[in-house]
Amino acid sequence: MRTQPWWGSLGLLLLLCGLPWLLPNDYYLHLAETILIYTVLLYGLDIVVGYTGQVSLGHAGLFGVGAYVAGVLSIKLGLGFWLAIPAALLITALFGGLLALPALRVVGPYLAMVTLAFGTILQILINEMDFLTDGPLGIKLAKPWLGHHPLTVSEYYATVVAIFALATVLMNRLVRSHWGRAFEALRDSPIATDCMGVSVYRYKVLAFVLSAGFAGVSGCLYAYSEQYISPNTYNFELTILFLLAIIMGGRKSRLGALLGSTIIVLLPKLLDDIQSFRLTAVILALMVLLGSALSVHRGLTTVRRVLVPVVGTAAIALVSFKLDAMTDWRLSIFGVMILLVVYYLQDGIVGFSLHWVAKLRRDHDHVGHAAFHSVDVGQAPITAHASRGPESLLEVADVVMAFGGLKALNAVSYTMSRGSVLGLIGPNGSGKSTMMNVLTGLYKPTAGHIAFKGLSITGKEPSAIARSGIARTFQNVQLFGEMTVLDNVLVGLHHRFNSGLVGICLRLPAFKRDEDALRTRGQQLLQMVGLHAHADELARNLPYGKQRLLEIARALALDPELLLLDEPAAGLTAADITELLALIEAIRAAGVSVVLIEHHMDVIQAACDHVIVFDFGEIIAAGVPAAVQANPKVIEAYLGA
């Protein structure tokens, strides 16, 4: 996590406050105001695009809803600015929730199209419902009043700065909370997020609602800033501009949003004046050329890889001298910028700069500062609560899982008692992993029943099953790669955070207490698997074996009563396997029952009390490990007749 120095933010705020005295006239102040207003919207868009990793093409529509809430309240009800702000926030958030409904089942291109359709519908509705919105004529708005005094241009600007600052603080708090972590988790692996007891659907909807809230406030500010709104403003082009701004400035960064917003506000002005555009294009082309040359010289990249951006920016500069007016080609310029940004500046200007600085720094001192917490967190129990309840923990009765005609599980029944370690073995494709996916709710069984602690969990949502006490790891590791190791575990600890939106935004004592306590708990869990020194590294940078251990730590964070391990020893060295066995023993000693899928027979022998053998979706043998291994049917299944 990047922590910007506080004096940087303070300096920026002072600069913003001082702008009315620094800028020569109201026109420039209005531009600055527009930049701040767009930035508020971009914060919201960043929640959806940067944090949850979805594409939204509907934010111009939401922006329009915010603006029109202000407009309609003013002309129909005579209500002013101060009521319009909360109303725009709430009503637009409601629309965001509506937009998120189809998000239940669609991802990627589908979601992009859904948001595009939604945005288009909003624009049509604003245009056609003239009894409410005055249609294409648009709405004129007076400057807001404070008491009996209409705000001057600089006073309204000050209001915008205040709301911008507030939005920045709220956004920072939001993304550095368990909600923010849930958003990022569902971007990196929705399946693992659900299996950590964090409902993907719930947090997707929340992300859209919050995002729309920001868009609504921004739209309302915009309406009063322009003092005139009309339906045509909130079109596809604006949506694309917003997306360009957020990816060009830099995702997951407040500074990036501000930068992106500055670019999209100033660029059209720049294009209006061909002379200044030529100058900018030449400077940009030279900068890209210089930067690329420097990078190639230092061996950071190859000529081939920098060829397209260098040629591309040079071409823009050349073309700018050929044309007399750029205004008509504005959209093409935006299009080319999107292409360049998408492929050559994926982390945006902010991300790119940070990356570059880090690379140069590493060149200078080879020591490197792998900043890690080496806090002593002390010994801690493996689970927070002792396992109690009925002796029989898991009952699987006649479970059938059919994919079309193929029965991956065929009438499987077994029971598992509390505190035991159950091994599932069998040839590849025999149904072991399917069994785990059925147990955790990822697959809904075609027939049969599953009871956990005496309660039916058949057909329940994965996140509900996880919260009831079943945690798992995955055969092909499903970590939240772009998050730190500690944050991965904190997603597992999500269920122990009690604060809601109010607690997060106000940083209430209860929230801080939770956050501190659970960070310590996370460190303890990492210590248990020997990863505490890596707490601040990105999960995807860990070596494979450590990633598997991190998955176990994350699963233990759920305080499970039943832990499902899917081939934990795959790809581990002999030394790692010894550690793994000790860990499984410690987990069992803490009272957590374990289901273990494994191909390493020595691991099964050492760890399991009881073994079930699958073949073609059916149980062909069950019993203590030694007896099962001697079973002729098992030998036949593994080695052939």
Partner 1 sequence: MDILLQLVISGAIVGMIYAVIAFGYQLTFATSGTLNFGQGEALMLGALVGLSVFNAGISYWWVLPIACVFGAIQGFFVEWVGVRPAMKIKSEFGWIMSTIALAIIFKNVAENIWGRDDLSFPSPLSDTPITFGDAYIEPMGLAVIGGALLIMLAVEAFNRFTILGKAVVATANDRDAAGLMGINTRWVIAFSYALSSLTAAFAGVLIAPLTLTGARMGASLGLKAFAVAIIGGLSSGFGAVVGGLILGIAETMTGFYISSGYKDVPGLVLLLLVLILRPAGLLGKSTIKKV
Helix (H, G, I), strand (E, B) or coil at 425: strand
CB nearer partner 1, residue 66 or residue 441: 441
d(C-alpha 52, C-alpha 65), whole Å: 23
CB nearer partner 1, residue 228 or residue 403: 403
CB nearer partner 1, residue 37 or residue 241: 241
Quote the DSSP letter at residue 393: E
CB nearer partner 1, residue 247 or residue 557: 247
* Closest listed residue to residue 294, CA positions, set 234, 359, 354: 359
CB nearer partner 1, residue 472 or residue 494: 472
Residue 324 phi, psi dihedral angles, 5° rounding: -90, -30
Minimum CB distance to partner 1, residue 133 (Å): 13
Residue 135, sorted as left (phi over 0), alpha (psi -120 to 50) or beta, turns out to be left
CB nearer partner 1, residue 157 or residue 183: 183
Minimum CB distance to partner 1, residue 331 (Å): 4
CB nearer partner 1, residue 111 or residue 613: 111
**Which positions lie near partner 1, rule CB under 8 A?**
53, 55, 57, 101-102, 104-106, 108-110, 112-114, 116-118, 120-121, 124, 127-128, 191, 236-237, 240, 243, 247, 328-332, 334-336, 338-339, 342-343, 346, 403, 433, 437, 442-443, 474
- Tell me the C-alpha to C-alpha distance, in Å, between residue 392 and each of 333, 419, 441, 454, 593: 67, 10, 20, 8, 11
d(C-alpha 218, C-alpha 63), whole Å: 7
Could you identify the residue written with the tokens 């050929």? 322
Minimum CB distance to partner 1, residue 622 (Å): 25
Quick one: angle between helices 59-77 and 108-128, nearest 10? 20
Minimum CB distance to partner 1, residue 334 (Å): 6
d(C-alpha 91, C-alpha 94), whole Å: 5
Q: Cβ distance 156 to 34 under 8 Å? A: no
d(C-alpha 454, C-alpha 446), whole Å: 21
- Enumerate the β-bridge partners of residue 425: 613
Helix (H, G, I), strand (E, B) or coil at 179: helix
CB nearer partner 1, residue 330 or residue 373: 330
CB nearer partner 1, residue 48 or residue 73: 48
| Token reading at 481 | 């790669």
CB nearer partner 1, residue 20 or residue 197: 197
CB nearer partner 1, residue 82 or residue 110: 110
- Tell me the C-alpha to C-alpha distance, in Å, between residue 604 and each of 127, 304, 426: 67, 51, 12
Minimum CB distance to partner 1, residue 204 (Å): 14
Residue 24 phi, psi dihedral angles, 5° rounding: -70, -35
Minimum CB distance to partner 1, residue 437 (Å): 5
d(C-alpha 490, C-alpha 483), whole Å: 10
Minimum CB distance to partner 1, residue 566 (Å): 9
| Token reading at 215 | 């868009």
Minimum CB distance to partner 1, residue 113 (Å): 5
d(C-alpha 397, C-alpha 107), whole Å: 34
For residue 195, the one-letter residue type is C
Minimum CB distance to partner 1, residue 502 (Å): 30
Minimum CB distance to partner 1, residue 128 (Å): 4
Beta strand spans in 418-556 (E) = 421-425, 447-452, 455-456, 470-472
d(C-alpha 251, C-alpha 349), whole Å: 9
Minimum CB distance to partner 1, residue 614 (Å): 17
